[in-house]
Structure formats: structure tokens, C-alpha cells
Structure 1
Amino acid sequence: MGTVVLSIDAELAWGFHDRPDPPRERIAAARPGWSRLLSILEEFSIPATWAIVGHLFLEECDGTHAEHPGSPDWFARDPGGSAGEHDDWFGPDLVRAVRDADVDHEIACHGFSHVEFGNRETSRETAVAEVEASIEAAASMGVELRSFVFPRNRVGHRDVLAAYGFRSYRGVRPDQWFDAVPMRRTGKLLDAAVVRSAPPLVSPTVDEYGLVNLPASLDLFGFEGIARSLLEPTVGDPVVRQAKAGIDRALESEGVCHLWLHPNNLLAERDSDRLRTVLSHLAARRERSSLAVETMRTVSERVDLPDAYRAVQ
């Protein structure tokens, strides 16, 4: 019997502040989507790992962050001020809602300002600043950060995470057959409509830094736009089918089905319906079996570390 993990990349405006033309619709959807997602998780008693951008813990800031290596250019869009003035850039109320929820969620780290750790231009100094600022901001709310989700899934500077006491991170999804074909998008569409392969189950492994790598299995909103609109009326929602297949595979064998999404994915009612359908299926399977639904932290705590890393952890 396996495990299902749900991780959430919670960013508000920070997820797009470095883009030339940030998607206004998704930024506007981020706050209501966060609350709706929390409510749906509560409805089905599903714990999740909420990887939250560290700046969202703040009640106020000066907008410059002069001590950060990326200042001032990196924070050019940061309006500064207080949470009451700029709620796209601050989210202490949202963080508290997760922390104080009846469901035992994990609060994890998504960087302080959504720096891509795997970008060649991101120095170790910047990674250290992102981690230190996140830990400090989380501590102000009594939160200890032990899991990390890399912004845009760009893995890098894992040694920094290990040095600051992190236990696990979400690694990249294993390749599937359509990743190797020249026309990947066409292959992905063919897989969704005809092949209908289940997402991979993953196994937590310990890397060379003593961190537990828990790769992703399926992005719950990785199949959108025209392709989704074309397939839904004819073959149904392909992501719902994939998610259910992954959950059912976890029932039958060892491994982790690691699902993930953003709150700002919940743009319309059909998006909430997709999530509710997936979580309803998960809750029903859990109720009728010994299927575990865990956070990244609880999974990583069950992984035996080599003796060389035990003292650090």
C-alpha cells in the first residue's frame, strides 16, 4: 500500500513579479483560490504541504530589502507598505489560516521572493539570503520550515537547504514517454486522449546532501487551454482520470503519488470541480483501505538517513 502527497505552491503576486507581463487573471485569482483550496481540503480532511513564499509571512516591509543580494532590481515591483494596503504581496492572514486549520497541514518553504534556485545566475549568496529570510519570517509565526519546493521546479543549491536544516524537497517529475518525442505537446495530447497512461509513482530517495528527494508525479493543472477545452466534452477531464489512476496505483503498490498545484489555478468553477472530484476520490479510497495521505514532512521523517547525516538532522 502506498501514499498520496499533495503539495501546493502558494505565491500570490510573487509567482510572476519577474515576468515582463504578469498574468493579471491568475494574480487576481490567487487569494480567493487560496481560501477555496483550504476549504476544499477541510471538506475532505486532506492534509497538504503548503510551500509558501516567505515574504507572505510579513505584516509590512520597506519594499527595497537592501540586505538581499538581488536588491533593488529584483524587488522593483514590491510596493512595500503593509499587508492591509497590498494584499497581493503580503499574506499573513492566509498563512495563519493554514497554520490554524483543523486539518494538520505542513507549512513549507518556497523561497522568500520566488528566486529560481536552479537558474545559473542565482548565486549561493542569493540562495542563502532567500532561505535565511524565509526561516526568520516563518519563525515570527511559530512555524518551522523543514520541506522545500523550488520555484518553477528549478532545483539548485541543495547544499544550502541541508546547511539550514531542511529535510526534504520536491524533485522533478520522472520523464514519461511523450517527454522524449520531438513534438512533446502533441505527444502529451495523444497520451491524454488515447494512451491514458497513469502518472508515475515515485520513491523518496536520499541525495548526496542527506536531503530526501520526493519527486512530483502530476501537476493537477498541467493540461489547460485549448487542449483541455477540446477533450473535456468528448473524453472527460484527462487530469481527473490521471489523478484517479495515480491514486488507485498507490492503493495497489508501494510508492508515492505526489500531486501538486497552485491556488491561482482555481480560476473558474470547473477548476474547483476538478479538485473536488480528485479529493473526493482520494478520501473515498482512504476510507476503504489503509492508503495513507501524508505531507512531505511526514513522508521524509519515515526515510532512514545514512549515519553521516543523522547528527545534522
Structure 2
Amino acid sequence: MDITSNNKGVFVISLDFELLWGVWDVTTKEKYGQHILGVKQVIPGLIDLFKRYDFKATFATVGFLFAKNREELMASLPAVKPAYSNSNYNVYEKELPLVGRDETDDAYHYGYSLFRQLLDTQHEIGTHTFCHYYCLEEGQSAEEFEADVRAAKKIALDNNIQLYSIVFPRNQVNEDYLPVLQDNGIPVYRGNPTSWIYKPRKFAAELPFIRLCRLLDTYLPVSGYNTHIIAKEEGLPVNVPASRFLKPYNKSLAWLEKLKLKRIMNEMTRAAQKNELYHLWWHPHNFGVNIAENMNNLTIILDHYKQLQQKYGFVNLTMKEAAGL
């Protein structure tokens, strides 16, 4: 069943709000710490910029970030934890023991003050799972995923938040786990673009050639136009699929910025003309350095959205709203 909003194009932005929990296993504080610390400027900057454009987004938040301090965090852990075959993915064994007392002591792992700022806005707060759970890695199970989802829901409810939307970490959408979401009251998820280069994969399967194809797709229509129809499948959560990752500003690739933005705006225009969905996403820490340049790029995108709104009736919705909830 097609549930695209009122026969109008829909523009959704979702952000994977995770701080160091999203990258601890692939980088270090020394290499990437400034990106993480920069999120303290990025979140209020995004709130202000979105407010100027009367724009609402979905902030898919790692459950750990709902905790004010270590005591609260430890008390919220699920009894059943992911048993990855590769222990290097196990956040409970590898990273959790390194966590400080609270946000003042450890701004890499705690973000309660940032989360609180979002509560006073029109944005949706969704989940990025409780522990940044990897749904396609070997060793973990549906039972462990369900325990994670329940922990995410509980700590959200403790903060008076009802979760509706989920973003799978590393975009590891596991279709076998969709009934788990439905059974636990998470009726919306962000799926992947349809092109083979965006197919959900284990982390080890992200080969250099695939990464190169995705990089080229940032600037050239390698995968075509990633606009979608939002459809409901009986008994399963609604897929509000991603269209494009907003690649952050990179000084060495600055000469390609106009091409990157043109690619995005062309897709937005197509979605507006064809009454389809365009779903842009990134992580707040992607904007954590080169903040001015990244915010300027987002401003250009939002200006284009306003033009499409006036010309075609292009509407902005959260993931929950785009799913018809």
C-alpha cells in the first residue's frame, strides 16, 4: 500500500546521533576526537538552522546517550548482550569499561545535555539501538537484538520519550529482525537505497571497490536517482528508505562540493516532481570539524527545499510522520 503523503513529494532528514559509541571500533579519540567534541557545537547549530527553515528531522539516538552518568548507564544495560563472534565488536567488553563518570568528565561517551536540547524542539527522537548494535555480524541473535531494543525503549520511556523509528547501525538492516521491531512497538525503520552498492552487508564485506563506487555516487549518478515510494507491508514496520548520505566537507575534495550538492538537489527536485520520498542522512559528528562549511552546505540544501516547497508542494516530515503515524 502506497502511503506517500497526500500525493506530494516528501523530504526526510535523519541523523545518526551516536558520539564515540558509533566509531570506537574503527578509530580512536586521538584520530577522531575533535569530530566527537565538535558535536557540542553541531547539535545547537542544527537546531537553530532547522528552526530558521521550520524544518523537523529525526535524531536516531544511541540508547547509551540517554544516561546522565555511569551509574544510570550501568543500571540500564540489558541482561542479554550481543555475543559477536568477533569480540572486537563487543562494546560491553571493549569500550564500556573505559567510560567516565558523566558528561563533564567524559564528553566522548555522554551527551545528555545535547539530548535535552532536542526535547524542546519539533524534532523526532528515534533510536539507533541501545548499544549501536550490529544486526548482521556473526554470533549475535534475534533474542539479543530484542533485548537491546527493549533496553532502548525503557531508557527512552524513563525520559518520557516514546520511540517509533529506528536506524540500524552501519545500515545493517536485517530483514529477519523486522518482526522483532513490530512486536516491540517500533513501527518505522530506515532501509537502504535499492542499488547493489548500498546492500546491507557485514562490516568485513565492505570491500574497497564498493566503497569507491559509493564515493563516486556522491558526485555522479552511479546508482541513478535514489527517490522512493513509501509503502506499507502488512505485519512489518514501514520502510522509510534512505536516499543519500550527506558526505561532510573535505578540504582536499573541496573542488567537488558543487557537484556533490548538485547531485543532491537534482534528486530532491525529482522527488518533488514525482511525488516521491527523498531521505538524506548523516551523523552529527560528520559536521564536528569544518562546521561552518558543513552548515553552509546544509543551508544550500534547505534553501533548495524551500524553493521546491513553493513550486511543487514538497513537504518536510519526520520518519514517523512519513510512515503515516
For Structure 1 versus Structure 2, the TM-score category normalised by the shorter chain is 0.7 to 0.9
The one-letter code sitting in structure 1 at the alignment partner of 2:11 is: V
Alignment of 1:135-214 (within 5 A): 135-156=153-174, 157-175=177-195, 199-207=225-233, 209-214=235-240
1:311 maps to which residue? none
Change (3 A) 1:253 1:90: same
1:308 maps to which residue? none
Alignment of 1:54-69 (within 5 A): 54-62=63-71, 65=77, 67-69=79-81
Asked if 1 retains the 8 angstrom alpha-carbon contact of 2:17 and 2:60, the reply is yes
1:85 maps to which residue? 105
How many residues were matched structurally?
293
Change (3 A) 1:208 1:117: farther
2:130 maps to which residue? 112
In structure 1, which of residues 284, 290, 294 is the aligned counterpart of residue 307 of structure 2? 284
Q: Is the partner of 2:152 in helix, strand or coil?
A: helix
The one-letter code sitting in structure 2 at the alignment partner of 1:93 is: S
Asked if 2 retains the 8 angstrom alpha-carbon contact of 1:69 and 1:129, the reply is yes
Q: Is the partner of 1:205 in helix, strand or coil?
A: coil
In structure 2, which of residues 295, 299, 308 is the aligned counterpart of residue 272 of structure 1? 295
The one-letter code sitting in structure 1 at the alignment partner of 2:17 is: A
Asked if 1 retains the 8 angstrom alpha-carbon contact of 2:37 and 2:107, the reply is no
2:4 maps to which residue? none
Asked if 2 retains the 8 angstrom alpha-carbon contact of 1:69 and 1:125, the reply is no
Q: Distance in 2 between matches of 1:129 and 1:198?
A: 38
Asked if 1 retains the 8 angstrom alpha-carbon contact of 2:136 and 2:172, the reply is yes
Q: Distance in 2 between matches of 1:261 and 1:194?
A: 19
54-63 or 17-26, which deviates more: 17-26
Following superposition, the deviation at residue 59 of structure 1 comes to 1.2
Asked if 2 retains the 8 angstrom alpha-carbon contact of 1:53 and 1:114, the reply is yes
Corresponding position: 1:95 with 2:120: no
The one-letter code sitting in structure 1 at the alignment partner of 2:225 is: P
Map Cα deviations across residues 101-147 of structure 1 (whole Å, 9 max, x no partner): 2xx21111101111112223322232122211111111122110011
Structure with the bigger RCO (C-alpha within 8 Å, sep 6+) is: 2
Q: Distance in 1 between matches of 2:254 and 2:100?
A: 39
Following superposition, the deviation at residue 74 of structure 1 comes to 4.8
1:249 maps to which residue? 270
Following superposition, the deviation at residue 13 of structure 1 comes to 1.3
- TM-score when scaled to structure 1? 0.83
- Unmatched tracts of structure 2, length 5 or more: 1-7, 83-90, 200-207
Q: Distance in 1 between matches of 2:120 and 2:198?
A: 41
Following superposition, the deviation at residue 212 of structure 1 comes to 0.6
Following superposition, the deviation at residue 165 of structure 1 comes to 0.7
More helix by share: 2
When the two chains are superposed, the root-mean-square deviation of aligned CA atoms in Å is: 2.9
Q: Distance in 2 between matches of 1:112 and 1:162?
A: 17
Corresponding position: 1:300 with 2:320: no
Q: Is the partner of 2:261 in helix, strand or coil?
A: helix
Q: Distance in 1 between matches of 2:165 and 2:16?
A: 12
Q: Distance in 2 between matches of 1:20 and 1:187?
A: 23
